[in-house]
Structure 1
């Protein structure tokens, strides 16, 4: 046994040297310029650096990313990736690797991180309901079955974080909106709002965390919950939203998260129409219709709120249009390439990064000149998620 000890010491010395060498290869850095791009066809993500306009590292093994979304820890070090296969993956942005991965359901549709950064909530299609996890360990904290008044366990959609350690979400199969107060994490306090409208399919929360707005798949209109006055219940707004003289086929339902809040206006995609609707936020009334290239999907405001960038559904998804908020008119049309899926503005708003799936490219544009600065090769890129999302409610 004594003759074996020197060999073990050699092994330990070699292991320590390798670990130190690996750490030296990753120079100390901050996270503010980083982000993730989803490579949906390969189950991988790429870490990007918006400061150097480059791809930093590819991370594989994240499962089905066909409808993936991302939230960040408050220090921006960890990204939580929600996969369509029920996977929840914690990615270390500095060590450029998966920190932990679990399969928490059969089919999930996104998630959120609590205001204090301690909890991760995931909304599930199969078996339905919401699961809440400890953000550090990914241990299960709470399981909310989301059984509606009709007795059905519902698909959950439109899950967002809200102030005071709350999560708000919609029950697609039972026409309800629930608010989960997680201040006692293992004993969620649930407030239920019934008969909010037929089949809520997606939702958003405004940037200050006051208004939760759910879109309705089964009928026209939207459902609005004022979280400053929750006792007033859910009210209906824009009763003719989605209704028009000519009903067009809907190639893709627009994401409500992609609504543009700019000044007193909300600029929103018309469902099935070739228009962006301008809504007065004071009274939630429609004030203008802006004709656009095709059926809009994301209608996203730049950080300075001066311009709104719009992409479109298949088969007209090679185009972006830019709306000037001062005039509420289209001022530019860009052609980034086939299958423009997502846009993300850099934190201070000088650039916009655009995923062009079928060109296998991310294109980077100057927001003010609208000229292309550079492009970066990616494998079927879709969602782009920068770390500054860590400091914004509802993203």
Structure 2
């Protein structure tokens, strides 16, 4: 009886201390990029609230983020080459380094110890220690007698690897950081297609796909059989159709996997491509409301949500992944840029840049649950990404 009383008293004391200190977990937290002001909102999706704003992050016009293994720290990749580490609990910048002149994104290693950044200028990849952002390696993306290519589509892969594409060279590189950080092993795959513009790795970490801007089709690399090289798939998906002007290129891994299908935005078309992963053949071309930018799957993979480039960037379209038919298209607000699902998928957060707000929709009823103010919001990133490959 006395032992039970002591245990209860100790538990009550701990609860009181936690409440007094304001301690909390980070599992229901995230960040929102405020692109015009170089700031980041820290948010909580359990109660749909804003917690804090962090300023001084430079040019965030094309920013992305990854999280530390414990989901306490966010690493922000800015367009100006800035790499910033933020503490979500204190809402402060831990460290910021200017690592290049023009950056396009990054990734964090399987063990959470290495942050990799892909750069446009100078073209290449740099590796940093996640703990203090000390530079570990500089890998120039050189090709054809010391030309340097823009690097895009950088993702993490199992086995302390990173995969990325060289836009100008038409190559995919596989970087292995297991043996050496200062001089990691690089495996290069050439002639993958013209102008790869983005990359996706499947959630199991096996397949890396690069979209091709300079020609129809996709490049596919099976990391379980990398020695076989990259192959070209779907070379004729737009054959016989006139290409439309591309107002905004799909990016930031804006493709979706649901069951055995991949849902991919068709560049220069008003369509979403459905690809069967078992044979990499086109199953269906779903007509879209406009030129799709992001095609994102709910966590249960039952539906995918699509947003669009100008002039249709005020709408969302929802596709049923079982019937492969459009369920609903509705107006979400001017400048609908990015979407992020809560970890179990009950809600989706949507940035509405031109109306300075975040809309939160119920994924079952499509009803608007809440709206929060934000300064020209773009990317939304929840800490659940800390435990997913390729995000």
TM normalised by structure 2 equals: 0.93
Q: 1:25 to 1:63 in 2, by over 3 A?
A: farther
> How many Å apart are 1:151 and its aligned residue?
2.9
Corresponding residue number in structure 2 for 1:56? 51
**Is the Cα–Cα contact under 8 Å of residues 264 and 280 in structure 1 kept in the other structure?**
yes
Say which SS state the counterpart of residue 358 (structure 1) adopts.
helix
**1:239-286 residue CA offsets vs partner (Å, 9 max, x unmatched):** 024444222111111226111100111111111111111111111111
Whole-Å Cα distance in 1 between the matches of residues 47 and 145 of structure 2?
Answer: 53
Whole-Å Cα distance in 2 between the matches of residues 25 and 336 of structure 1?
Answer: 40
Whole-Å Cα distance in 2 between the matches of residues 65 and 243 of structure 1?
Answer: 37
1:114-193 mapped onto 2 (5 Å cutoff): 114-183=109-178, 184-193=180-189
Corresponding residue number in structure 1 for 2:22? 27
Say which SS state the counterpart of residue 247 (structure 1) adopts.
coil
1:202-213 mapped onto 2 (5 Å cutoff): 202-213=198-209
Q: 1:328 to 1:38 in 2, by over 3 A?
A: same
Corresponding residue number in structure 1 for 2:9? none
Say which SS state the counterpart of residue 354 (structure 2) adopts.
helix
Corresponding residue number in structure 1 for 2:356? 360
Which one of the candidate residues 76, 87, 91 is aligned to 1:92?
Answer: 87
> How many Å apart are 1:198 and its aligned residue?
1.3
Whole-Å Cα distance in 2 between the matches of residues 284 and 242 of structure 1?
Answer: 16
Q: 1:322 to 1:244 in 2, by over 3 A?
A: farther
Corresponding residue number in structure 1 for 2:326? 330
Asked whether 1:269 is paired with 2:253, we answer no
Higher alpha-carbon deviation: 240-249 or 295-304: 240-249
> How many Å apart are 1:34 and its aligned residue?
0.3
Corresponding residue number in structure 1 for 2:388? 392
Say which SS state the counterpart of residue 231 (structure 1) adopts.
helix
Whole-Å Cα distance in 2 between the matches of residues 72 and 242 of structure 1?
Answer: 37
Which one of the candidate residues 101, 108, 112 is aligned to 1:106?
Answer: 101
Say which SS state the counterpart of residue 389 (structure 1) adopts.
helix
Q: 1:242 to 1:224 in 2, by over 3 A?
A: same
**Is the Cα–Cα contact under 8 Å of residues 217 and 237 in structure 2 kept in the other structure?**
yes
Whole-Å Cα distance in 2 between the matches of residues 242 and 56 of structure 1?
Answer: 46
> How many Å apart are 1:187 and its aligned residue?
2.2
Runs of 4+ in 1 over 6 A off after TM superposition: 23-26
Whole-Å Cα distance in 1 between the matches of residues 63 and 36 of structure 2?
Answer: 11
1:340-351 mapped onto 2 (5 Å cutoff): 340-351=336-347
Say which SS state the counterpart of residue 229 (structure 1) adopts.
helix
Whole-Å Cα distance in 1 between the matches of residues 374 and 280 of structure 2?
Answer: 40
Which one of the candidate residues 285, 290, 294 is aligned to 1:294?
Answer: 290
RMSD of aligned C-alpha atoms? Answer: 1.4
Say which SS state the counterpart of residue 385 (structure 2) adopts.
helix
Q: 1:24 to 1:104 in 2, by over 3 A?
A: farther
Whole-Å Cα distance in 2 between the matches of residues 353 and 238 of structure 1?
Answer: 32
Say which SS state the counterpart of residue 228 (structure 1) adopts.
helix
Q: 1:315 to 1:330 in 2, by over 3 A?
A: same
**Is the Cα–Cα contact under 8 Å of residues 26 and 95 in structure 1 kept in the other structure?**
no
Whole-Å Cα distance in 1 between the matches of residues 20 and 349 of structure 2?
Answer: 28
1:247-258 mapped onto 2 (5 Å cutoff): 247-255=243-251, 257-258=253-254
Number of paired residues? 373
Whole-Å Cα distance in 1 between the matches of residues 161 and 227 of structure 2?
Answer: 16
**1:31-76 residue CA offsets vs partner (Å, 9 max, x unmatched):** 0000000000000000000011011000000000000000000100
Say which SS state the counterpart of residue 148 (structure 2) adopts.
coil
For structure 2, the residue ranges without an aligned partner over 5 or more in a row are 1-17
> How many Å apart are 1:226 and its aligned residue?
0.3
Corresponding residue number in structure 2 for 1:41? 36
Which one of the candidate residues 203, 225, 230 is aligned to 1:229?
Answer: 225
Asked whether 1:216 is paired with 2:182, we answer no
Higher alpha-carbon deviation: 301-310 or 285-294: 285-294
